[in-house]
Structure 1
Amino acid sequence: MQINQNKRKQRLILLSFIASIVLTGLKFFAYYLTSSNAILSDALESIINVIASGFAFYSIYLSSQPKDQNHPYGHGKIEFFSAGFEGALIVIASLFISIEAVKRLLDPKPIENLEQGALFIIFTIFVNLAIGYRLLSEGKKSNSLALAADGRHLISDSISSVILILSVVLILLTGLVWIDSVASLFFGIFLAYSGSRLVSQSVAGLMDATDPILLQKVVETLNNHKKKHWIDIHNLRVQQYGSDLHIDCHLTLPYYWELSNVHEAIHSFENILKASHSGETEIFVHADPCLPECCSFCRIENCMVRQQVFQKDIDWDVEKLSKNEKLYNEELAHLKQ
């Protein structure tokens, strides 16, 4: 299943790469017909699509490679680097586009054949929207940042092209040539914002920043499959590298269990988490023995070593399970108050 998913991701990003090359050629031809600065800006930004899609293809190929001696945690982090690289290129392109827009405002030039040029741009809008939506959908499904980033880029490219078409319509209706340069300037600002967001996400991933949505999903899985012998879970950490998921936590189990029982319980715990994720999942569980204080929250019935009466079940949430301390310490403090 994982192999088929990787192949599907590679085919999609290859489709994006080929389409980007063709559409970039069409946009430059539209600029050749019109001499429109806004269309030139769109064409220059499409060069970024080509470079980014090519790098994304390589990153997805590399991230799908198995772990090796030099990369014991796999190659998934390359997707963060790919998204950051794409974002940086977009920001650079936005600066160039903005500078050219200001130059055209100060020194306007005639625009020709806008109707013909607009037809080419409209065609690229539909193609980019279709491919971008598919990439974004598959990227979210497979937890691929590189695929999702390329999809968002194509969709944003489509949105900016729509704005470009609107500016062309305004020029045709009003005859005001300066609208072309103003539209190009706004286009550059929009690209700068889009690119900076990609860079921010990339840096967060490379720095192993917590993904609250991903962490919440894991907590919900644990709550939905909560076992009576899972007395306590704490120090829960979740990281996503490409489509690979890494989870580690401390799991409190009955202190009197034999090692074989502990092993079986942890194996079952891992299988539950793995079943909730479509990609590879690596889990490290540190088993803690229960203490007398745990009895107040332990749900094991007819426990022969129980020293305290059961008082309440602990509600598991992201904040509690992420702390590096047993939950009963916090709950006992609340009860004493």
Structure 2
Amino acid sequence: MSKQTRLVLLSLFTGLGLMLIKFVAYFLTDSSAIFTDAAESIVNVIASGFAFYSIYLAAQPKDENHPYGHGKVEFFSVFLEGGLIFIAGAIILAKACYNIFFPAEITHLIQGIYLIGITSLINFAVGFYIMKRGRALGSITLIADGKHLQVDAYSTIGLILGLILMKLTGFQWIDVVISIILGLFILLNGYKLLRQSIGGLMDESDTELVQDVVAILERNRKDEWIDVHNLRVQRYGNELHVDCHLTLPNYLDLVKVHDEISAVDKIVNKEMSVRTEFFVHADPCLPQCCRYCQVADCPIRSEQFKGKIAWDMDKVTRNQKHFSYAVADQK
């Protein structure tokens, strides 16, 4: 059993146990706010169940029908989780609005607060652990699952504070107000997860990942690597697929070109925290490249070296060689 699978099972069984405790608290108190918390726990359990399946599927090797692997199923998992959270938020708001007109009598409030207080502590601890391990393993499913558990813990803390205030003041309407606020908070978090998953499915550029790759290339660049451009990064589960154009001296033979491309691949894989599949298109240099080419004793140089051009995200991601930029760091 993989590390990801064990973490999802931890989330699943934790969610089941906490859901039961929260519903006990709801039936004990008949509090609309506690019902809000209990309803979201159902989402936690369903989402963790699908996350378990998506982690299993994402770990399957590439095949003829899925040459890039099965990693993108993790975005579907995040989409489902976000959708369920959004639906739960809508149901919670509807229940809160109903209770405005038909309020329920709240009983055994202190016992209910104790019960959901315990669930909050457990949720936060498990969510923190799963998020930390998810980042280390490069799994967006685990990160989303852990974040959801922590969001649930934060909302429960807010719920507890509101219920304590209601107990001290005796104002029953506070219960409905808390439920509405938490419902809106849950809707917002559901929207954020939906937005993240749709962006991943549409291959939206991950600025942070691209910056990491560019920084690695800049730190390790060789004189023969005249420029890198048209760099793109796609995430497939816990793997990255990167492609770019690498400008090399046009007099290099095929073996040397292959060696340089392999060197780029090895450096990025060594320094990135996730497995990276690199596709490099080799471009021959042009006379206009001479002004920033750092190759010493070049046999075909047509213009003197003017200065080094620093590689940054703007230059490396554009589909053009760097001779169109002003030369920086003049010598």
Same fold (TM > 0.5): yes
Mapping 1:1-337, distance limit 5 Å? 7-331=2-326
Structure 1 contact 249–285 (Cα < 8 Å) conserved: yes
CA drift of 1:40 comes to: 0.9
Distance in 2, matches of 1:238 and 1:127, equals: 37
Structure 1 contact 64–75 (Cα < 8 Å) conserved: yes
Distance in 2, matches of 1:109 and 1:250, equals: 66
Map Cα deviations across residues 58-93 of structure 1 (whole Å, 9 max, x no partner). 111111111111100011111111101100001111
The unaligned stretches of length 5 or more in structure 1 are 1-5
Distance in 2, matches of 1:15 and 1:135, equals: 9
CA drift of 1:225 comes to: 0.6
One-letter amino acid matched to 1:43 = A
Map Cα deviations across residues 103-146 of structure 1 (whole Å, 9 max, x no partner). 11111121111111111111111111011111111222222111
CA drift of 1:330 comes to: 3.2
Distance in 2, matches of 1:171 and 1:231, equals: 68
Distance in 1, matches of 2:205 and 2:314, equals: 12
Distance in 2, matches of 1:91 and 1:72, equals: 33
Distance in 1, matches of 2:258 and 2:200, equals: 32
CA drift of 1:239 comes to: 1.0
**Amino-acid identity (%):** 48
CA drift of 1:292 comes to: 1.3
One-letter amino acid matched to 1:78 = V
One-letter amino acid matched to 1:59 = S
One-letter amino acid matched to 2:72 = K
TM-score, normalization by structure 1: 0.95
Map Cα deviations across residues 185-234 of structure 1 (whole Å, 9 max, x no partner). 11100000000000000000000000000100000000111111100111
Distance in 1, matches of 2:59 and 2:319, equals: 32
CA drift of 1:57 comes to: 1.1
SS in 2 for 1:309: coil
Map Cα deviations across residues 265-291 of structure 1 (whole Å, 9 max, x no partner). 111111001112233311110001111
Distance in 1, matches of 2:271 and 2:194, equals: 29
Map Cα deviations across residues 43-70 of structure 1 (whole Å, 9 max, x no partner). 0110000000110111111111111111
Aligned pair count reads 328
Structure 1 contact 105–182 (Cα < 8 Å) conserved: no
Q: For residue 3 of structure 1, what is the aligned residue in structure 2?
A: none
SS in 1 for 2:246: strand
TM-score, normalization by structure 2: 0.97
One-letter amino acid matched to 1:330 = Y
Distance in 2, matches of 1:109 and 1:198, equals: 33
C-alpha RMSD of the superposition: 1.2
Distance in 1, matches of 2:68 and 2:275, equals: 11
CA drift of 1:7 comes to: 1.3
One-letter amino acid matched to 2:169 = T
Structure 1 contact 37–104 (Cα < 8 Å) conserved: yes
One-letter amino acid matched to 2:246 = L
Distance in 1, matches of 2:132 and 2:210, equals: 20
